[in-house]
Structure 1
Amino acid sequence: MPMSSTPLVLVSGSGRSGTSSLAGTLKRLGLHVPQPEVEASETNPRGFYEPQWVIDFHKRHLKELALFNIDSRPAAVQLVADYLASGETTAELREWLSGQLDADQVVVKDPHAFWFARAWEEASKDLGADLRWLTALRHPAEVVGSRDIAYLSSQSDELRLTKETSNVAGWVHAALLTEQAGRASRRAFVKYVDLLADWRAALAPVQEQLALSFDTDLASTDHHPVDDFVEPSMRKSQLGWDDVATPDWLKDMAEEVWQLLGVLTTSPHDEATLARLDEVHADYTARYADAVALTFDHTKAESTLAAREARDTQRSTLQQVRRDLEQARRAGSTPLAQTVGGREAAAILRRAVVRRITRR
């Protein structure tokens, strides 16, 4: 198998944390983004700078596992580990990656990447690529509130509390997992607000920590294409904890994680900070278990009612189908009515009903 010493920068972090801005900046500084890229959209007109293959790869496997990008469940970690155990997912990634390492430096951005850190590490090692993690940091209140606050502002306090609590918990979990993913590698962290305020100053420590080569001297003030790409006005959401409806203990935990990750921008492997992050992670896992236990009856009742609704929908639809088929037989109006028996028709339409319920 061909070997490569190509630096491979994996940009990760919670969605809406500035990962696109960070990857786009690195591309303008000379790093290569594997093609084709995800096209820009109305929600992100400046571009995503994500390899389409990587996005499809991560999303497909997350869907198979029924996981979300910032899934708050601690058990999700073991689900992914078990899923990767066969080696098939890693082999798929390795095959694609083997054709992407001809450039001097490669940057791959995808907020889903931390879930598959093991696959990236193994595939990179097999190919001799030098994997380096770069994490974009943005305050959790801004991440959670950038879109949800506007949508939920007219909703009930109960709905806001549920949705935003879930999102903050997801941010905490994703932040902790992303940090853990890069501990064994070269890595760097950069705050989104710092990148927009002064990208040269923000990326100077990143360049040193990741041992990257840029096409410009960051000490120079000469105009560079990045100057036309990033600017403070891109930070459209400037929210705080007063704008987010979630329990105080979770706000405090998210704020502490944010502050601890901030320390890693200057010292990516600070031992005291890593030890405290591990303590917070253990606390999060314990509190999540308490929450699951507290809501056991609620979850069980919701599951029972959902199953009952699905059965009722199926039964009602099949009964209507049988009536329609019987009416068609009597009228002799269709070839289907004359050749398909009730049991066969019911089986065909049962599958259709299941698909309908699944889509719901």
Structure 2
Amino acid sequence: MSAPAPTAARPPRTLLLVTGPSYGGLRTAAGVLRRLGAAVPQPERAVDDREPSRPSEPRWVVDFHDRLIGHARTMATDAQPRAWLRTGVVGRRSDLREELAGWLERAFAHADSDVVVVTDAQLPWYHFLWQSAAVDVGATPTVVLPVRHPATVVGRRHAAESSRGGAQHLLASWVNVVTGLEHRTRDVRRVLVDHDALVRTPALALRQLAETTGRSELVDPDALRRLTPFLSRIDLAATPWSDLVVSEELRSLASVAWDQLDRMTGAEGEGAAPRRRLDEVRAEYAAYYAGEEALVSASITNAAWQGRIERRRRIKRLAELAEERKAAQQAQNS
């Protein structure tokens, strides 16, 4: 699909991709952006009445990502480092890129703004696909990555959704998603935004995004004042580490990753030192996961072996019972 050229009648298009772990501030950031004039493609995902605001998640996007699970065999909370390889292969499929570009073209055509915002918990895995499709329709993509403390992210998700692996699995997936996403979006236009700062002082938090995208309306005083009713409903209560049952090693990795991401949202911005440390955390996490996987694999193998023995015992016992019944029947007949 050839990209339509901007004209005087139609200004350049901007696609804001709000991405990161679920419960990490995606809806807060997307909600802020839509109230500053960015358009959310309709219809949106069904709204939970318990939520204080509309989710800002296009229904088509949620369904599209759900369908990609079958291709990539992954999920939003995937803790496997190799999940990035599987989703990377899917993200380079030309048929999916063409399908997504077609939807984006329709989304921009029907939007009442030349700035469109998209978010979904599965988006981190397919950022390359979205980047490519955006270029196909003449839109400049910008990654918006909200940064929120991992204990709070995991605590809120664990309280809202059941997880087979509990807080340990959710924290592992947080480390996997944020370090992998940060590494894979370094060469694209992006802004890391401190979630709590966005709620407390939106003008300061949005300044870098406005400068990066060239969208001065993101810091327009009148528009910022309209955010107050929305932001006043955001709960900033933090979850302490003591509330989570997680291993010390995993907690340490998450804490280091958080420290570096927090630095990158500050005045010094992104630099070589935090990126280098995040690369180290990513490598350390891969080694940690491999070790845990080996232990689990051994347990699964042992359980399977014990299961086979138990099945043989049951089969043998059933055969013995059948023989006993047969002998009793023969004795009765005689």
- TM-based fold match above 0.5: yes
Identify the residue that residue 207 of structure 1 maps to in structure 2: 210
TM-score, normalised by the number of residues in structure 1: 0.75
In the TM superposition, residue 248 of structure 1 has moved relative to its aligned partner by 0.9
Identify the residue that residue 250 of structure 1 maps to in structure 2: 250
Identify the residue that residue 26 of structure 2 maps to in structure 1: 19
Identify the residue that residue 288 of structure 1 maps to in structure 2: 289
Counterpart CA distance in 2 for 1:30 and 1:279 is 39
On the 8 A contact 1:149/1:243 being kept in 2, the answer is: no
In the TM superposition, residue 50 of structure 1 has moved relative to its aligned partner by 1.2
Task: Find the residue that maps to 1:130 and give its secondary structure.
Answer: strand
In the TM superposition, residue 190 of structure 1 has moved relative to its aligned partner by 1.2
Choose which of 40, 50, 57 in structure 1 pairs with 2:47. Answer: 40
150 and 245 in structure 1: CA distance in 2 versus 1, 3 angstrom threshold: farther
On the 8 A contact 1:187/1:268 being kept in 2, the answer is: no
300 and 212 in structure 1: CA distance in 2 versus 1, 3 angstrom threshold: farther
In the TM superposition, residue 282 of structure 1 has moved relative to its aligned partner by 0.9
Task: Find the residue that maps to 1:72 and give its secondary structure.
Answer: coil
Per-residue CA deviation, residues 224-261 of structure 1 (Å, 9 max, x unaligned), is 22111112x52264211111111111111101111111
TM-score, normalised by the number of residues in structure 2: 0.81
Identify the residue that residue 72 of structure 2 maps to in structure 1: 65
Q: How does 1:1-360 map to 2 (within 5 A)?
A: 1-3=2-4, 5-102=12-109, 103-148=113-158, 162-214=165-217, 217-218=220-221, 224-231=225-232, 234-235=234-235, 237-266=237-266, 267-301=268-302
In the TM superposition, residue 34 of structure 1 has moved relative to its aligned partner by 1.4
Identify the residue that residue 339 of structure 1 maps to in structure 2: none
Per-residue CA deviation, residues 288-323 of structure 1 (Å, 9 max, x unaligned), is 1111112222133556789999xxxxxxxxxxxxxx
Counterpart CA distance in 2 for 1:307 and 1:181 is 44
Per-residue CA deviation, residues 250-277 of structure 1 (Å, 9 max, x unaligned), is 1111011111111221455412211111
Letter in 1 for 2:170: N
In the TM superposition, residue 210 of structure 1 has moved relative to its aligned partner by 3.1
Which ranges of structure 2 fall in alignment gaps of 5 or more residues?
6-11, 311-334
Deviates more, 1:46-55 or 1:97-106: 97-106
In the TM superposition, residue 170 of structure 1 has moved relative to its aligned partner by 0.4
Task: Find the residue that maps to 2:107 and give its secondary structure.
Answer: coil
On the 8 A contact 1:188/1:264 being kept in 2, the answer is: no
Per-residue CA deviation, residues 40-85 of structure 1 (Å, 9 max, x unaligned), is 2124241111111111111221244331202100111111123344
Letter in 2 for 1:207: A
25 and 261 in structure 1: CA distance in 2 versus 1, 3 angstrom threshold: same
In the TM superposition, residue 125 of structure 1 has moved relative to its aligned partner by 2.1
43 and 6 in structure 1: CA distance in 2 versus 1, 3 angstrom threshold: same
In the TM superposition, residue 212 of structure 1 has moved relative to its aligned partner by 2.1
RMSD between aligned residues: 2.7
Counterpart CA distance in 2 for 1:80 and 1:203 is 30
Letter in 2 for 1:259: D
Identify the residue that residue 318 of structure 1 maps to in structure 2: none
Per-residue CA deviation, residues 113-163 of structure 1 (Å, 9 max, x unaligned), is 1100111121122222111000111111011111525889xxxxxx99x52
Letter in 2 for 1:199: P
On the 8 A contact 1:183/1:269 being kept in 2, the answer is: no
On the 8 A contact 2:23/2:157 being kept in 1, the answer is: no
Task: Find the residue that maps to 1:136 and give its secondary structure.
Answer: strand
In the TM superposition, residue 283 of structure 1 has moved relative to its aligned partner by 1.0
Counterpart CA distance in 2 for 1:199 and 1:227 is 10
Per-residue CA deviation, residues 171-201 of structure 1 (Å, 9 max, x unaligned), is 0111112212321111111122112212222
44 and 63 in structure 1: CA distance in 2 versus 1, 3 angstrom threshold: farther
In the TM superposition, residue 285 of structure 1 has moved relative to its aligned partner by 0.8
39 and 176 in structure 1: CA distance in 2 versus 1, 3 angstrom threshold: same
Counterpart CA distance in 2 for 1:101 and 1:245 is 45
215 and 14 in structure 1: CA distance in 2 versus 1, 3 angstrom threshold: closer
Which ranges of structure 1 fall in alignment gaps of 5 or more residues?
153-158, 310-360
Letter in 2 for 1:185: V
Counterpart CA distance in 2 for 1:196 and 1:280 is 28
Identify the residue that residue 328 of structure 2 maps to in structure 1: none
Deviates more, 1:187-196 or 1:163-172: 187-196
In the TM superposition, residue 10 of structure 1 has moved relative to its aligned partner by 0.3
In the TM superposition, residue 216 of structure 1 has moved relative to its aligned partner by 5.5
